[in-house]
Amino acid sequence: MADKTGGLDGKDICDDILNINGVTVANIKGISGKDKKSCCTANGPIVVSAVQDSCALACASEDCGNFYTDGTSGTCPLVNGDYLYTDTSCTLASNGYYSPKNCNGGCSKCYTVSSGIITVSDCPAPEPTCSAINLAYNSRGTACTARECATYYTDGTVGSLTTGDHIYADSGCEECASRGDYSDRPCRGAQGVNFVVDASCTITAVQDC
């Protein structure tokens, strides 16, 4: 928060006293021989992404720059209520979304900024990356000897699928493939394995054919 220092009669010279005997605070250099203190604290620099239109874009961005804050600049993340500035003069950062995630080893957080004030949230989980894979299907028992192959999709690595990976019926990785057994052996014409898939698309077992 702003560092309110240098007061007079319990009032803050920076914010509360607009003028003294008709002279504005901006033109007052000091009182009783003491310099007027700074009206804000700008710690930093801290490195975060340039302003983006969403948390997802900010967290993915590698377009980074130096910013400043009244919070603790040496820790990540900042906290709710801290300010984000563009310079040491405490110019408020533009409204929008910022993230330190891909900037100089930053943490996986999103800063939503409104009137300079930060609200901190976690970066959203990345969308699953789907790859096409040809598999044979059998609803009952091994699919290693099934004859008909079809295109399915997976968020795992084709050629080395393992338990915990998923098999989907659509390229957006949203519609689960049917529960049962799948195998790449009939589609490859070579050695392959059998994948046991449950109702939540998840591969629960990998078996040699």
How many residues are given for the chain?
209
Show the domain range for 193: 131-208
Domain boundary among 103, 122, 141: 122
Q: Which residue has the tokens 């901006």?
A: 26
Shared domain for 143 and 111, answered yes or no, is no
Token look-up 């006293």 returns 17
Q: How many structural domains is the chain composed of?
A: 3
- 190 and 141 together in one domain: yes
Same domain, 58 and 103: yes
How much is the mean pLDDT over the chain?
Answer: 84
- Residues 115 and 51 reside in one and the same domain: yes
Tell me the three state secondary structure of residue 36.
coil
Host H or E run for residue 97? strand 96-98
Tokens of 61: 């961005």
Distance CA 62, CA 85 (A): 19
Residues 55, 98, single domain; the answer is: yes
The first and second tokens of residue 52, run together, are: 């983006």
Residue 20 confidence (pLDDT): 53
6 and 72 fall within a common domain? no
Q: Which one of 100, 122, 144 terminates a domain?
A: 122
Phi and psi at residue 114, to the nearest 5°: -135, 120
- The whole-number average pLDDT for the span 18-46 is 60
**What pLDDT score was predicted for residue 14?**
56
Q: Is the peptide bond preceding residue 100 cis, with omega within 30 degrees of 0?
A: no
> Does the structure show a pLDDT above 90 at 113?
yes
My answer on whether 145 and 167 are in the same domain is: yes
The runs of H, that is alpha helices, within the chain are: 55-60, 185-188
Looking at the predicted structure, is the pLDDT value of residue 125 above 80?
Answer: yes
Q: Whole-structure pTM over 0.85, yes or no?
A: no
Asked if 160 and 142 sit in the same domain, the reply is yes
Residue at which a domain ends, from 88, 122, 156: 122
Per-residue pLDDT band for 127 (boundaries 50, 70, 90) equals: confident
pLDDT in tens, 7-17: 444 444 554 43
pLDDT digits (tens, 9 = 90+) for 54-80: 999 999 999 999 999 999 988 899 999
